Structure 1
Amino acid sequence: MHASAKLLFAFTVLFSVSKVAAECTRFSTNGSTAATYQFHRFYDFRNLHESLSRIATSTSLNDAIPNSASSKIISAAPWGSGWNARKWFRPAPRKDTVDMQYTPSSISISEVSEPSQEDSTCLSLHTTRLPNGTQLASELQFTEYNVTYASIRMSARIHGVSGAIAGFFTYRNDTAESDIELPTGGAANSVHFSNQPTTNPSTDAPIQGSTFNVSLSADQPTSTWNNYRLDWVKGRSAWYVNGVQSADTEVNVPDAESMIILNLWSNGGNFSGRMDTGGEAWFDIQWVELLFNATAGSEVQYDETACSVESSLGSPVPNASPAPCWWLSASRFWWMIGMASVASLTVCV
């Protein structure tokens, strides 16, 4: 084989290996809580016309299997394997609150009503107050229950009467929880960010730095589509709205494996408020993006490829490197030089 042919072979191998190496093995974020995570998931609810059509003509699994914790919408959709629709009863914790019944039938894929909205479907969670006083509510749990540190993001809106809370949060227990919470009704421009607990259990006094009430500007109320993000890293939590950091804290940051939950609820208490009988509210979601570690995390290895999630929604892009072959170790480099039988070769410039 001529030297030129061998050189071409060497570059062909280099190109093939680089394509494999470019596959994302870690996923990076930006901002003050920039981090690198093991796993990435993206759930897009914006164009599920086929799923919506199948659901409209199918029989509800909940009608066929009354005790099933799965809903027809979750089973029918291709992204359903990542989430569990909860069916459970939560009794009123105090006399001045109400019972809540979480039901999968309150979760659906809905058409977006605005004529100007290009994306014509969304995931919709629903809540309503029944004549018997019980509050029907909705909850989805991510199937990975051992998340340790995460960046969770969504495009969402809320609408309906006052008295409900839309939640997107990590949860281990009531003292290891980090929240994005959107109250319904009212001025519809308030967002709550918090790490639980937010009050001292002994004195009921507020814990400074554990919770933040953020008012959105008048031109982007929570009843319109906004992007929300919670970053949970070791020792710190940060919250973002539409790409801008709104709050951060080192107070009550969770330090245990957790679940990721989406829900819409009302227990009639001071925080959520109480719906009138027949009142309704909705929590609509266009997409959910999750970056997370499934253990305490491991150090990124030299030959792994970290991809940024910040430049292309749902499609991580390999991070820029100082040279096109940054990943190539010295031993591989000289092995390929030998294969090409080239006395001197400059590969990286």
Structure 2
Amino acid sequence: MPRLSTSPSLVLLVSAYLRFATGTPSLTDDSQCGCYLTNGTITGYFTEHKFFDFRSLDQYQGVPAPITDIDASANASVTSDYFNSAEWNSSWSLQAWNTSGGARGDATVLRVNSPNNVYIEKNTDPSPASKTYLTLRTERLPDFQTAAEVESRSKTYHFLSVRMLARTVGSAGAVTAMFTYSGGQGADVQEADLEVITGDPQGLVHYTNQPSVTSGGDVIPDATQNATLPDGLGWSDWAVHRFDWTPTQSTWYVDGVRTGNISFQVPRDPAQVILNSWSDGGQWTGNMSLHDAAYLQIQWLEMVYNSTGAEPAQRRSLLSGRAEGCKAVCSVDETSKTGTPVMLWTSGAGRACVRGSGMAGWITVGLVLGMAYMSVG
């Protein structure tokens, strides 16, 4: 009966194969990816990838003065041609609504969203990590609170992992947020929030699966968590904030460290992605002093996601969290270049699923077994 040899040739063969199969993934592009596998507490497969890079937009940078008239603020033009570009307008919409028709119950100040408060700003940090970034501004003016909100044009995101390199700076009395939203008001809303309250201590952020209060005004403890940022970070420090929405859990991370997870009333239905910076003088935001301001600043934003939109049926099947029919699995977590995916593995008839891409990425099962067979004695 043949037995496996302990010859140096077999040892070298197996060692080389294992190194190859677990080696550093190769950079690729989205056209080569069938799906995207995320790491984290709950891994997930997603069909689509988007990356928005605000770090080198010098030609669009400029900080506009606040507009102090309510109507003029709401009707303001975009602050640069970047917000007229196909890259921006294919995915995002600048908001211009106000709360005159339905303010929060304890609001003391009219909130007016304005396109004038969303702009590309030059990075003047010492030793800056980017040339520019996207800014969402809110400021207390004599007659109202001017604010900023950016909403995704798509309302069909159905499970996702969204990340942004961001910080919040400025005065107390405001909230900055990244969240998913669907539904209506009150108990009908489905929402998963990351919120920074600028009156809070620097290390504190808030995570919520809305609604977080009952119709009678009682807090729902299982719906919300107050989290401490890792490694002594404050919300005014640049950090990668990540939110994973999976069928059973909402999970948040900061710089790769899990900081919160909520399994209670996880959003079920397709949703938008929303960013904002705002105040209404109520108990949640606090009351901002006249002419004070706060800012959400973002260097880049990235999403891998599933959608209920017009996509092939086999790609929508990944809404279940399984990679059925996905023959090329990529990652945005293991990449060495932010925004560019890497190929984790590909599969094909008679071929092993291994890391790597291109001709060097294929090792057939038959070749490995054949070489091993020649080493038995």
Q: 2:195 aligns with which of 169, 174, 181?
A: 181
- Aligned 8 A contact 1:144 1:294 in 2: no
Q: 1:328 aligns with which of 349, 369, 374?
A: 349
Query: Structure 2 length normalisation: TM-score?
Result: 0.74
**Letter paired with 1:214:** A
- Aligned 8 A contact 1:71 1:85 in 2: no
- Aligned 8 A contact 1:230 1:237 in 2: yes
- How has the CA–CA distance of structure 1 residues 22 and 67 changed in structure 2, closer, same or farther, with 3 Å as cutoff? closer
What pairs up with 1:273-312 in 2 under 5 angstroms?
A: 273-295=286-308, 297-299=316-318, 300-302=323-325, 304-312=327-335
Deviation at 1:267, TM superposition (A): 1.1
SS in structure 1 of the partner of residue 266 of structure 2: coil
SS in structure 2 of the partner of residue 293 of structure 1: strand
Query: Structure 1 length normalisation: TM-score?
Result: 0.79
Q: 2:151 aligns with which of 137, 141, 148?
A: 141
Cα RMSD after superposing both structures:
2.9
- How has the CA–CA distance of structure 1 residues 275 and 290 changed in structure 2, closer, same or farther, with 3 Å as cutoff? same
Residue matched to 1:85: 94
Alpha-carbon deviations, 1:183-235, whole Å to 9, x = none? 12453221101100112223x22212211111225742111101111111112
- Aligned 8 A contact 1:159 1:185 in 2: no
Structure 1: gaps of 5 or more residues? 1-18, 57-62, 331-344
What pairs up with 1:10-89 in 2 under 5 angstroms?
A: 23-52=32-61, 67=75, 70-72=78-80, 74-76=82-84, 79-81=87-89, 82-89=91-98
SS in structure 2 of the partner of residue 254 of structure 1: coil
Q: Does 1:112 align with 2:123?
A: yes
Rounded Cα–Cα distance in structure 2 between residues aligned with 1:328 and 1:180 = 44
Greater shift in the superposed pair: 66-75 or 230-239: 66-75
- How has the CA–CA distance of structure 1 residues 65 and 179 changed in structure 2, closer, same or farther, with 3 Å as cutoff? closer
Deviation at 1:255, TM superposition (A): 0.4
Structure 2: gaps of 5 or more residues? 1-27, 65-70, 310-315, 352-364, 370-377
Deviation at 1:293, TM superposition (A): 1.0
Rounded Cα–Cα distance in structure 2 between residues aligned with 1:223 and 1:38 = 33
- How has the CA–CA distance of structure 1 residues 94 and 249 changed in structure 2, closer, same or farther, with 3 Å as cutoff? closer
- How has the CA–CA distance of structure 1 residues 198 and 99 changed in structure 2, closer, same or farther, with 3 Å as cutoff? same
- Aligned 8 A contact 1:154 1:288 in 2: yes
- Aligned 8 A contact 1:22 1:318 in 2: no
- Aligned 8 A contact 2:74 2:97 in 1: no
Rounded Cα–Cα distance in structure 2 between residues aligned with 1:21 and 1:46 = 21
Rounded Cα–Cα distance in structure 2 between residues aligned with 1:162 and 1:21 = 41
- How has the CA–CA distance of structure 1 residues 66 and 244 changed in structure 2, closer, same or farther, with 3 Å as cutoff? closer
- Aligned 8 A contact 1:98 1:268 in 2: yes
Runs of 4+ off more than 4 Å: 19-22, 63-71
Deviation at 1:32, TM superposition (A): 1.3
Rounded Cα–Cα distance in structure 2 between residues aligned with 1:208 and 1:166 = 22
Rounded Cα–Cα distance in structure 1 between residues aligned with 2:255 and 2:348 = 34
Rounded Cα–Cα distance in structure 2 between residues aligned with 1:181 and 1:20 = 32
Rounded Cα–Cα distance in structure 2 between residues aligned with 1:69 and 1:196 = 33
- How has the CA–CA distance of structure 1 residues 78 and 219 changed in structure 2, closer, same or farther, with 3 Å as cutoff? farther
SS in structure 2 of the partner of residue 278 of structure 1: coil
Deviation at 1:301, TM superposition (A): 3.7
- What is the count of residue pairs matched by the alignment? 304
User: Percent identity at matched positions?
Assistant: 31
Greater shift in the superposed pair: 101-110 or 22-31: 22-31
**Letter paired with 2:55:** R
Residue matched to 2:360: none
Residue matched to 2:342: 317
